[in-house]
Amino acid sequence: MDAKLARDVRFLKLYALTMTLVGAAAITVAFAAQGGKQRFDEIDVGRINIVESDGKLRMVISNRERQHPGQVDGKLMPRPDGRPPGMLFFDHHGDECGGLVFDEDENGSKGHFVSLTMDKARQDQTIGIQHLEGDDGQYFAGLVIWDRPDSSLADLVEEMQAIEGLPAEERKSALAEMEERGEFGKVRIAVGKRRDKASEIALSDARGRTRIRISVDPSGNPRIELLDEAGKTICALPGAK
């Protein structure tokens, strides 16, 4: 390469570098002038992460394919079948603390569910506003409140994974022990409406057994029932139907 050609090549490289820096500076100034804001009339995106200035994740809005698996005690939760699309919330520790999710019913193509839930620290949901509708006749629209243990959900997942490898009888015994300890959480209060248009309040004990049921049937007839541990009515107002 002769001297003149070499000078021309160096000039072109310098020119390209200069124009790149000028363009980058112009973009930076434009962003600064707008306060870092961008406006779009429409945008298609698979997932949006809302983060703090230090990069800490606080919220995820995602489709099914890119949905966050959830995190407890710094550990990602195993989700072999993925998670529904929606919006997930994360606390200052990075643990999931609630969300709004929606999806179709697993039993068919017409059913669907929408669920807004709030989680106990290091645990699963304790409050949920839900609409659950299945092709198999299942239907519930209302408020649900759960009991959750004080232990970590991450520890429960690890214990469940260890139990999966046990022989059938040992696995059954280990699950029964976890159930006795209250590790799985139970529904304590459910307030809602069923498919037959009856409205109901169900109050349950620590084992999830309904003990008081207050209802109004589709015809407007009210009823209060007290139930024993087996679900048998002890007494009711009004009396037997």
What is the residue-wise DSSP string for 74-125? TEEPP-TT---SEEEEE-TTS-EEEEEEEEE-TT-SS-EEEEEEEEPTTS-E
The whole-number pLDDT of residue 182 equals: 86
The whole-number pLDDT of residue 36 equals: 67
> Count of CB atoms within 10 A of residue 58's CB?
15
Give the bridge partners for 61, in sequence order.
48, 87
> Above 90 in pLDDT, residue 39?
no
C-alpha span between 53 and 42 (Å, rounded): 25
Cα first-last separation, the chain: 104
Helix (H) or strand (E) holding 149: none
Per DSSP, 36 falls in state T
Q: What is the rounded average pLDDT of the residues 112-137?
A: 93
C-alpha span between 194 and 2 (Å, rounded): 88
Structure-model confidence comparison of residues 38 and 123, the more confident one: 123
Cβ contact 139:132 at 8 Å: yes
Average pLDDT, the chain: 88
Task: Return the structure tokens found at 186.
Answer: 């139970």
C-alpha span between 119 and 156 (Å, rounded): 15
C-alpha span between 8 and 27 (Å, rounded): 29
Q: Is residue 24 very low, low, confident or very high in pLDDT (cuts 50, 70, 90)?
A: low
Amino acid, res. 171: R
Q: What is the rounded average pLDDT of the residues 99-116?
A: 83
Nearest alpha-carbon partner for 60 in 115, 99, 93? 99
Structure-model confidence comparison of residues 36 and 59, the more confident one: 59
The whole-number pLDDT of residue 56 equals: 96
Task: Return the structure tokens found at 88.
Answer: 């997930």
Nearest alpha-carbon partner for 147 in 133, 127, 163, 166? 127
Q: Is residue 27 very low, low, confident or very high in pLDDT (cuts 50, 70, 90)?
A: low
Provide the H-helix boundaries in the chain.
Answer: 3-33, 153-164, 168-181
